[in-house]
Amino acid sequence: MRRLTVALSLLATLASGTFLGSARAVPAEGEPPGRTAGGHGTNVLVVGIDSRAGLSAAEKRRLHVGGKGCNCTDVMLLLHLSEDGRRASVVSLPRDSYVEYADAAGTATGQRGKINGAYAIGGGPMTVKTVEKATGLHIDHYLETGFTGFEDAVDRLGGATVCTDRPLRDENSGLDIAAGVHRTNGDDTLRYVRARHVTNRPGDLGRMRRQQRVVTDLLTRLTAEGALSDPARTARTARALLRSVRTGDGTRIIDLVRIGLALGRLEPERTEFATVPIRLFDHRVPGVGSTLVWHEARSAAMWEALAADRPLVGDTRVQPAPKTPVTTNPAGIEVRVDDRAVAEALRRDRFEVTDTSAAAPSVRPVGPPVIRHAPGREEDAATLAAALPGARLEAVPGHGTGFDVAVGTAPVEVRTVTYDRNVADGAPVTGDVLGCAGTAAQP
């Protein structure tokens, strides 16, 4: 009975650690699906609630969820299932997104705030209508849950797979794992997907990417095991799921069975994950605090693509392909350069540059520039190397936190690099690339 419970929860591996699922009926093979109002396919809103209600002091300590809950949505994911049942798109909606609220009838209230605040005002119905207003999409089904469901589901499955190319630590969530691929229990997986204060991936975008990675790896595993291929077992699990989560009106056990079967038919390359593109990452609003403002053109293109039942991956309106993209912000990288012209060019590229040309050696390295750095700074080193094509990288034990660039005898090209947090942590990507077995196993 455990399998669909987890499979449906996969869709988001909620940052609150909660499990999820639900959807409107998804057709069996060959059966024509219904259409959502205002678009093709099926849209499911899945939320995890930040509430400590019912948790004992011991549970709060174990789950690292001390403090007072906000009774708001901590995680919000929009699942779109294509009309032909051959593609699933999962879009994370950051909880601090700055939007206008709509009431349970769908009428704009004129009040604006963080999208997670809609639940505190009007519960699930107001959350659904606010998301519909913000996206222009019709929500066919809604599901919400609390903190412990995800942990229990992962444990019943026998663990989850998490991966990182560097050690990850976050005191707030209790996360502390070494670099590599790990099989984790429910508690440890919860910490992985809740962490918001890890090095180089602070905030919600990095957290949502980790959630998405766990989702796709669990889906891949369940599909390989055939856990979603048997309607009878799926039905038993769906009944168990309905005892564990709260669904919106109109979601029946047959809906859960059909969504589980549909997910079980999808290969990783047929699933895609993305985060709403952001234009302003720290938009301060009096009385509201720091918010995120969606990128108007890119987010509109995302909702239009889903409404038209088109894939997000490869849609350059949703995510334009930047020239020379990098995955870390040059503005946070300290560089010492022994050539004045190169130093000035890197400074224009927004690196934090110190010109050391006055103390430059009389004999320079033969060939292209040499970049020296401490071990463990490989991702920032790759960003600097992208600005200095052909540069040689040297990891030097005991090196300080900054980077030293020794300009060589060869002519130096300084290339303009593009850092876009939407690309680094939220660009549309398919499950086969995103997962631990793919090529994007970043923290």
Q: Is the pLDDT at 37 greater than 60, yes or no?
A: no
Locate 154 and state its tokens: 């992962």
The total domain count for the chain is: 2
Instruction: Please give the Cα distance from 237 to 156 (Å, whole number).
Output: 12
Residue in the block written with tokens 């975008």: 205
Residue 386 maps to a domain: yes
**94 falls within a domain:** yes
Question: How many Å apart are CA 211 and CA 389, to the nearest integer?
Answer: 33
Please tell me whether residues 32 and 176 are part of one structural domain: yes
Q: How far apart are the first and last CA of the chain?
A: 31
Structure-token pair, residue 366: 């033969």
Least confident stretch, 151-165, 169-183, 399-413? 151-165
Query: Residue 237 and residue 268: Cα distance in Å, rounded?
Result: 23
Nearest to 380 by CA among 345, 412, 424: 424
Residue-wise pLDDT for 328-385, tens only, equals: 999 989 999 999 999 999 999 999 999 999 998 888 999 999 999 999 899 899 999 9
Nearest to 153 by CA among 17, 320, 349, 251: 17
List Cβ neighbours of 239 (8 Å cut-off, separation of 6 or more): 1, 253
Beta carbons within 10 angstroms of residue 378's beta carbon? 15
Range of the domain at 72: 2-321+423-434
Whether residue 369 contacts residue 408, with contact meaning beta carbons closer than 8 Å, is answered with yes
> 234 versus 76: which is more confidently predicted?
76
Q: Name the residue among 72, 77, 102 with its Cα closest to residue 91.
A: 77
In a domain, 439, yes or no: no
- pLDDT for position 227: 62
Structure tokens belonging to residue 131: 């998301």
Whether 197 is in a domain gets the answer: yes
Residues 407 and 351 in one domain: yes
Could you tell me the pLDDT band of residue 21, with boundaries at 50, 70 and 90? very low
pLDDT of 215: 80
Q: What pLDDT does residue 91 have? A: 96
Q: What is the DSSP letter of 186?
A: H
Query: How many other CB atoms are found less than 10 A from the CB of residue 418?
Result: 15
* Any domain includes 59: yes
Give 252-292 pLDDT, tens digit per residue. 767 767 777 777 788 889 999 999 999 999 999 999 999 99
In this structure, are strands 246-247 and 141-145 parallel, antiparallel, or unpaired?
antiparallel
Full DSSP string of 80-95: EE-TTSS-EEEEE--T
CATH of the domain at 265: 3.40.630.190
DSSP 321: -
What is the per-residue pLDDT for 39?
A: 60
Residues 270 and 337 in one domain: no
In this structure, the answer to whether residues 408 and 427 fall within a common structural domain is no
Residue 414 domain-assigned? yes
Q: Assess whether pLDDT exceeds 70 at residue 420.
A: yes
Average pLDDT on 123-137 reads 94
What's the whole-model pTM score? 0.80
Pairing label, strands 180-184, 160-164:
antiparallel
Q: How confident is residue 223, by pLDDT bands cut at 50, 70 and 90?
A: low
Query: Is the same domain home to 177 and 189?
Result: yes
**443: in domain:** no
Residue 295: other Cβ atoms inside 10 A:
18
> By three-state DSSP, how is residue 2 classified?
helix
Q: Using one digit for the tens of pLDDT, what is the confidence trace for 292-326?
A: 999 999 999 999 999 999 999 999 999 988 889 99
**Is residue 66 included in any domain, yes or no?**
yes
Residues 315 and 168 in one domain: yes
Residue 192 has pLDDT above 90, yes or no: no
Could you tell me which of 80, 121, 91, 86 has the C-alpha nearest to residue 104? 121
